[in-house]
Chain A
Amino acid sequence: MKGKSVKKFLSAVLVGTMTASLLAGCGGSSGGGGSEDSKDSESDKAASDSGVDLSGVEAIADIGYEGDPIELSFWYLQTRQEGTDVLTEVFNKANPNINVTVSYYDTDGIKDACKTAAQSGSMPSMWFNWGGALGQYYVDNDVTYDLTEYGEANGWADLYTPGAMNLVTLGGQVSGIPTSYNVIGVYYRTDLFKQYNLEVPKTIEEFESVCATLKENGITPMDTAGLNGWHVMRWIEQFIEYEAGADMHDELQSLSTSWDCDAVKKGLERYERYCKEGYFPDGFITASPDDTYMAFGMGSAAMDIQGQWYDSTLQNNEVTLENVSWFPFPNETGRMSAFAEMNQFNKNLSDEELEAAIAYTNFLFSNEAAKIYPTYYNLPLPRTDADPVDPAVNPNVQDMLDTSSENGTFTITDQAFPTEVADVLFNNQDAIANGETTPEKAAAAIQKAIESYQSK
């Protein structure tokens, strides 16, 4: 009898626990959902928890829409969730007839999710994307709204920076609103450089000398991570820029000249040599690029090739910028790799939905919003009226952008390439690092992939 009572009690506890967990899963929202009361309490709580003053964004959130209720969905990066959730709540609260729901994905997850949605006809109202080949897919398949006329009517040529507008104009049409313009440089640990009496390298020979010294002293010279391939690619494209020069590199990126050439082979040979010298971390091929900040932050790696957003990334992960600075990779042309990010819009949006979606985008990427959450944006915003970056918060950003304006840029390779060609490059990166192929064979394989793609 006692045993039966215990069993009954345990069963009751288990049932209660399961029911409670089921009910807990039914509540809550990730931005935009829920009742008015929960909207108020969520944004107020989040803002008060972080000591954030929302009065600046609250003042501009109301777009004066009084039409029929509109539901909008937005797919965005998970690294920017915290600020976006609060700002979305502010927008929804100020515009009771508009409800924006944000879903978050990681860097590679959002690419797959958007492709899957495009093929199943279930694209969200708006989504984050990159320029180049990544954004081109949605233009080629007539999924995204052609904003050319809208942009002309609303003076976008004067509102957004020319560089950013250039990178979001794909296939002759304005395919999205630019939300950031990014340039890639080499971040380095100033304390490690000082410790080993190293100067910022101005030539590639000096760069190799720096790497050798760091390696001798047990520091990984060049932080990188090969999962998904694009982080390693950032180093390799700099080697190719050095070997090919600006004009030829542009031709290579536009696939108008063969990749089975000396410049590419020499660039890949340099990469192979650096792998053999141990300048990259052990086991980097399947390491995640989302984690490179750890080795860099801990000081076990001295250099990391990143965009100006790295100021924010490091701070968001509690790495002080006191011992961090940057230099352009010494590729002799001085050019920096560049790309844009944008919001694209579903071509099936009605006029009212499009206006609301654009208004939300302009709100989310306003000076006021960026001021509150500077570490969740790739600053400065690509707007001609963008607030200058606060050097106290993001000390490297303005210098990187000024340098890129002065020296010029080239399109980052994984946006210049179609995905299946980029994957052949990434696979050959792995193969070279593991000694499975040679730079000559890799160059030939990349060219073969290009020819195969072009013949489709």
Chain B
Amino acid sequence: MKENKTAPYLFMLPALIIYLSVIIFPVFYSLWISFQSGTGIGSMEFVGMKNYTQLIHDEVFWMSFKHTIIWIVLTVFVTTTVSLMLAVLMNQKFRGRTFFRAFFYFPSVISAIAVAIIWRWIYNPQIGFINQFAQMLGLDFTQTWISTPNTALIALFIAALWQAIGQPMILFLAGLGGISPDVLEAASIDGANGVQTFFHITIPLMKDTFIMVISTLLIAAMKVYDIVKGLTDGGPNNATQVLASYMYNQVFQYNNVGYGTAIAIIMVLMMLIVIIPYMSFTAKKE
């Protein structure tokens, strides 16, 4: 029977059209816009690399870039660690385990804006839970968590962490569930204690899960926006400004569409730094 070589491509065509029109074309069109200047309505003026050279001298851009890197590092290390610890805990057999799994997963289904509103009240210096609880314990404590530049970004991250740990926890639970009990039993018989088993057996066997969790968290961290917008709007005085929120302000508040799009292209390049090695690694593995 003659093999139909065109049939597979015909089946791929609808998906390809959607992919090209919704993802590929907008990316290249955005690249084109980043070489222009204008308000986004009507014609724009070609300015070449001017937007990018302006970015080099833009203090707020570098501040946003720094905050985004800090956010990425915190997300990769802290969110991964906390989610993993929760997953290990939730993997134990105890009464109410299912309830606690749902309990820790629940914040991840709340929208980021709702999380921001909740945490703005938790952080309220006068009537917020944290300060009120501290005062109840007898501490004379009125910390302005999100209004102080030194604590604002960390306070924002804690709010985001509360929401973010649920999904990685589920992925880690799935990974832990995939480890054969025979392997763990063999390790135990060979004299390995819990910690040794965890670091030398469990973690290596969960390599694929780690790759998936870390790459997902990394990409989400690079484009963090809604919780920043909802909780601090990038303030106080740009102390929590990240690339996504600064890009949004430039395009939609200041009408510097070309300039804001240049920031978006920088963000895309940052994501490619993660995605290309990830894709090469998974391709090699296959």
Contacts and interface: CB of A to CB of B under 8 A. Distances in A.
A419 B124 contact: no
Nearest to B156: A286
A119 B236 contact: no
A119 B253 contact: no
Instruction: Name which of A283, A284, A295, A420 has the most chain B CB atoms within 10 A of its CB.
Output: A283
A44 interface: no
A85 interface: no
B152 A430 contact: no
Interface string A414-425: 000011100100
B126 interface: yes
Interface in B179-213: none
B237 A434 contact: yes
Interface in B121-146: 123-126, 142, 144-146
B39 interface: yes
B254 A283 contact: no
Given A285-B236, A419-B255, A428-B237, 4 more contacts: A140-B39, A282-B125, A419-B254, A420-B253
A227 B146 CA distance: 11
Interface stretch (A18-26, A31-39, A110-118): A110-118
A286 B249 contact: no
B106 interface: no
B177 interface: no
Which has the most chain B C-beta neighbours within 10 Å: A229, A286, A428?
Answer: A286
Contacts of B254: 418-420, 423
Nearest to B128: A283
A430 B235 contact: yes
Interface residues of A, number: 38
Contact of B236 (A118, A143, A226, A423): A226
A119 B125 contact: no
Interface string A279-290: 001111111100
Contact of A282 (B120, B144, B252): B144
B41 interface: yes
B231 A419 contact: no
A436 B148 CA distance: 10
A226 B235 contact: yes
Given A141-B39, A284-B147, A286-B146, A112 B233 contact: no
Nearest to A137: B255
A433 interface: yes
B64 interface: no
A423 B236 CA distance: 11
B45 to A, nearest CB: 11
A198 interface: no
Contacts of B147: 226, 282-287, 434
Interface in A103-159: 111-112, 115-116, 118-119, 137, 140-143
A300 interface: yes
Contact of B235 (A286, A418, A420): A286
Contact of B238 (A111, A285, A427): A427
Interface of B: 39-42, 120, 123-126, 142, 144-149, 152, 231-233, 235-238, 249, 251-257
Contacts of B256: 420
A418 B41 CA distance: 17
Given A227-B233, A434-B236, A283 B252 contact: no
B129 to A, nearest CB: 14
Contacts of A359: none
Contacts of B232: 227, 286
Contacts of A227: 232-233, 235
Contacts of A140: 39
A428 B235 CA distance: 11
B114 to A, nearest CB: 14
A437 B41 CA distance: 36
A431 interface: yes
Contact of A115 (B125, B146, B148, B255): B255
Contacts of A226: 147, 235-236
B140 to A, nearest CB: 13
Given A227-B232, A286-B231, A430-B235, A141 B253 contact: no
Which 5 A-B residue pairings sit nearest by Cβ, starting from the closest? A283-B144, A283-B125, A119-B40, A430-B236, A430-B237
A419 B253 contact: yes
Contacts of A281: 125-126
A118 B39 CA distance: 10
Contacts of A300: 126
A295 B232 CA distance: 20
Contacts of B252: 112, 115-116, 119
A141 B236 contact: no
Nearest to A300: B126
A427 B144 contact: no
A427 B125 contact: no
A177 B237 CA distance: 36
Contacts of B144: 282-283, 285
A423 B253 contact: yes
Contacts of A428: 237
Interface string A291-309: 0000100001000000000
A118 B41 contact: yes
Contacts of A285: 144, 147, 235-236
A427 B235 contact: yes
Contact of B237 (A115, A420, A427): A427
B276 to A, nearest CB: 31
6 contacts: A119-B41, A283-B124, A283-B147, A286-B231, A423-B253, A428-B237
B59 to A, nearest CB: 11
A423 B149 contact: no
A287 B146 CA distance: 9
Nearest to A429: B237
A396 B145 CA distance: 36
Nearest to A301: B126
Nearest to B143: A283
A78 interface: no
B145 A283 contact: yes
B41 A143 contact: yes
A116 B40 CA distance: 9
A403 interface: no
A142 B42 contact: yes
Contacts of B125: 281-283
B125 to A, nearest CB: 4
Contacts of B152: 286
A300 B251 CA distance: 39
A430 B249 CA distance: 17
Interface in A208-233: 226-229
